[in-house]
Amino acid sequence: MAAVVVTLLSAVTGAAACSSPSAAGPCAVTRTTDVAVPMRDGITLRADVYRPATTQAVPVILMRTQYGKTSAQVGPSRYQRPDWFASHCYLVVIQDIRGQFASGGTFSEFTNDRDDGYDSVEWAARLPGSSGKVGMYGSSYVGATQWLAVETAPPHLATIVPANTGSDYYDGWTYENGAFRLNFIEPWVMDTIALSAADNRGDTKVAQQLTQDYKNIAGWLRYTPYRGFPPFHPGDPTVAPYFYDWIAHRTDGPYWQRWEPQRNYSRVTIPVLDVEGWYDAFLAGGVHNFTGMVSSGGSASARTDQRIVIGPWDHIGWGRSDSIVAPMLKGIGPVGNSPVNELMLAWWDHFLKGVDNGVSNGPTVNYFEMGANVWKTAAAWPLPGTRWTNYYLSSGGHASSVLGDGQLVTRAPTSGQRPDTYDYDPRNPVPSVGGHSCCAAPGGSQGPYDQRSVERRADVLVYSSAPLATDTEVTGPISVTLYASSSAPDTDWTAKLVDVHPDGTAVNLNNGIQRAGFRESSSAPTPIEPGRVYQYTITVWPTSDLFRAGHRIRLEISSGDFPQFDPNPDTGSWLGESTATQVAHQTVLHDAQHPSTLVLPVIPASASGKAGTTFPITARQ
């Protein structure tokens, strides 16, 4: 054990939408650093323990992080400091996972966090002064460490609070409907986990090289094939061998399925509080974790005690004045600030201390409706009363770019229409302007931005509704049925939902992609026949937006979204294995026999929940 630091907390500040700046709790706190945590295989992990000054046994709050226990995911603008939580009379344990920062062993993403999670929970439950109940928290991979631990059912784990994390480490994490999530995976590995693991093992040369390479990340994102990506030293088992495993396993299968939370809901018998953002890299997975636990949790109480919060956030920008986010998110102001700290404290007070504070009252969805900039509450996802509304693609055959004649109409086509065509060149793909990637706004293809520069490209089909006569809330999952053909044996289809303001500003709400070869199966892709028309379903990730009267609903269809996703080379191979590319001629049909359709979850005013500018800590407030 290292030195003990004693701190009397009197006023720890943490902004939140639901209250004035948060006050510290009644317990003084001591911190002990680098406490040894033995694992079953003899490896020692290290943790900092924050102990409240109380004679009563108290619950333990555990964070297992690969990003450094000393930072504890406090910045930028996320969690309160661990001593703030401890001041509310909790034992708080912040632990470095295996092979990262102060902990021993060899780091390998996902590999050890099930067993290590179990052992860490049970170790924490036995700490002097512990009541025996343990809760966990943390964002992103620190959310994954919670799901990986809970899959092993540690007997003393009583609740988890995962934020911004997935349900499947293949689809919606590393790949998305067959496309490689390039702008997330390569920068993330280079700038964080591979770098910190090199520091952990004392490999100064590699650490310096990764730091230098990251300065040219825009250039490295264009390097192909990915299986030979030089910064991670292909063939070297010490730098980032897991990255090359991910490239080698580009289809779903046993490699990925051994870890998936979505395959283990029936084993989870505890309450879960999920926290997500509309522009987060793992939004779809977070929603799936909520709905999966409500329908398939391992106990009646687990199925009941589920809650999800979805705010106007990207991956690490949770509102607040000092967060670095897209300007349009920043413009929402304090009403969009994350309530996570106060909400977690109330959640733990209820499920770990037995306080009857109304934080749970059946499955609960708290969501931020953009456009109106208000918080709303529902009892299920999709929202009860959702009116699934079809908008049909229509044109005279000239929907290329915003200058074309593409329309969204509410009546299905009754006769033939000329198809729309464009050429997709993987050497010049449509650029990513915002989206649901990771991890920081300046380089992460995440957040809302004006799409007008993208919409002027000839390889983007643009379909717009007439100006809306009334305000229209769209909240929930979105899909596009697309009838299309390609001259290539494989290609991509992308879709983006956009809110068009009266002045022409075109704000992306969310997007989706479908690799043609993966149209029927994520585990056994098959080529397409050039020139043949196929029916594709493109899953656009969820959103919540109030389209104001006078605004228009817009759908963009294309075949590229780079660097958010790897460009499809149109050869039947992919850029993980090959550098060859060719241009594909794309055709989108929307006639009576091929009614290409955007399906939106419209929420009638009669079904819309009570709106408020203050986040409701109690479940049904």
Is residue 420 flagged as an active site residue?
A: no
Confidence category of residue 14, pLDDT binned at 50, 70, 90? very low
Active site residue 490: no
Q: What is the mean pLDDT of residues 324-340?
A: 93
- In sequence order, the 6+-apart residues with CB closer than 8 A to the CB of 584 are 423, 424, 486, 487, 488, 491, 559, 570
Q: Is the pLDDT of residue 426 over 70?
A: yes
Amino acid in position 204: T
d(CA 62, CA 51): 12
Q: How far apart (Å, rounded) are the C-alpha atoms in residues 331 and 333?
A: 5
The average confidence (pLDDT) of the chain is 94
pLDDT of residue 321: 75
The confidence band for 483, taking pLDDT boundaries of 50, 70 and 90, is: very high
Q: In CATH, what class is 4-171+256-378?
A: alpha beta
Element (H, E) at 317: none
In angstroms, rounded to a whole number, what is the distance separating the alpha carbons of residues 133 and 59?
5
Residue with tokens 């694992």: 39
Q: What is the pLDDT of residue 501?
A: 98
Please enumerate in sequence order all residues whose Cβ is within 8 A of that of 366, keeping only pairs 6 or more positions apart, or say none: 307, 308, 309, 310, 375, 376, 377, 615, 616
Evaluate whether 593 touches 430 at the Cβ level (below 8 Å): no
pLDDT at residue number 2: 46
The per-residue pLDDT for 212 is: 98
Tell me, what amino acid is at 218?
A
- Token pair recorded at residue 543: 């959103």
For residues 215, 237, 224, 452, the Cα torsion angle rounded to the nearest 10 degrees is -50
The reported pLDDT for the residue numbered 77 is 81
Written as one letter, the residue type at 193 is: I
Band (620; pLDDT cuts 50, 70, 90):
low
* pLDDT at residue 397 tops 60: yes
Q: Would the pLDDT of 245 be above 90?
A: yes
Residue 185: closest CA among 468, 445, 8, 378: 445
- For the segment 533-550, the average pLDDT, to the nearest whole number, is 98
CA distance to 275, 286, 303, 304, 560, per residue, from 381 (Å):
14, 12, 13, 14, 30
Rounded distance between C-alpha atoms, residue 103 and residue 172, angstroms:
29
Q: Out of 48-57, 289-298, 407-416, 611-620, which region has the weakest mean confidence (pLDDT)?
A: 611-620
Per-residue pLDDT band for 219 (boundaries 50, 70, 90) equals very high
Q: What is the mean pLDDT of residues 559-567?
A: 98
Q: 583-615 burial, b for 16+ CB within 10 Å, e for fewer?
A: ebbbebbbbeebbbbbbbbbbeeeebbeeeeeb
Residue 9 has pLDDT above 70, yes or no: no
**Cβ contact 97:69 at 8 Å:** no
Fold identical between 4-171+256-378 and 387-603?
Answer: no
In this predicted structure, the answer to whether residue 229 has a pLDDT above a threshold of 80 is yes
Following CA atoms 322, 324, 325, 326 in sequence, which dihedral angle do they give, to the nearest 10 degrees? 110
Which residue is catalytic, options 83, 280, 420, 566? 280
- Quick: pLDDT tens for 64-107: 999 999 999 998 789 999 999 999 999 999 999 999 999 999 99
For the beta carbon of residue 301, count every other beta carbon within 10 angstroms.
Answer: 13
Q: How many CB atoms lie within 10 A of CB 501?
A: 15
Name the least confident of 97-111, 411-425, 556-570, 601-615: 601-615
Domain locations along the chain: 4-171+256-378, 179-249, 387-603
Structure tokens at 595: 């009614």
Across 24-69, the runs of DSSP E, i.e. the strands, are: 29-38, 44-52, 58-65
Q: From 117, 10, 19, select the one nearest 63 (Cα to Cα).
A: 117
Of 152, 158, 193, nearest to 62 by C-alpha is: 158
Q: Is 315 in the active site?
A: yes
Q: Which H or E run contains 365?
A: strand 364-369
CA distance 95 to 320: 27
pLDDT value, residue 621:
60
Please compute the mean of the pLDDT values over residues 492-513 and round it to a whole number.
Answer: 98
pLDDT (tens digit, 9 = 90+) per residue, 249-273? 999 999 999 999 999 999 999 999 9
* Percentage of the residues of the chain whose pLDDT score is greater than 90: 91
The catalytically annotated residue of 315, 350, 551, 594 is: 315
pLDDT at residue 619, rounded to an integer:
76
387-603: CATH, from 3.40.50.10860, 3.40.50.620, 3.30.1490.190, 2.60.120.260? 2.60.120.260
Least confident residue range of 248-257, 324-333, 422-431:
324-333
Give one DSSP letter per residue of 200-212, joined into a string: HTT-HHHHHHHHH
Q: How many CB atoms lie within 10 A of CB 155?
A: 11
Residue linked to tokens 């699934």? 388
Q: What is d(CA 574, CA 182) in angstroms, rounded to the nearest whole number?
A: 13
Tell me what pLDDT residue 7 has: 42
Residue 21 has pLDDT above 60, yes or no: no
Distance separating alpha carbons of residues 296 and 1, to the nearest angstrom: 43
- Given a contact cutoff of 8 angstroms between Cβ atoms, the answer to whether 463 and 407 are in contact is yes
Helix (H) or strand (E) holding 242: helix 241-248
Q: Is-cis flag, bond preceding 225, omega within 30?
A: yes
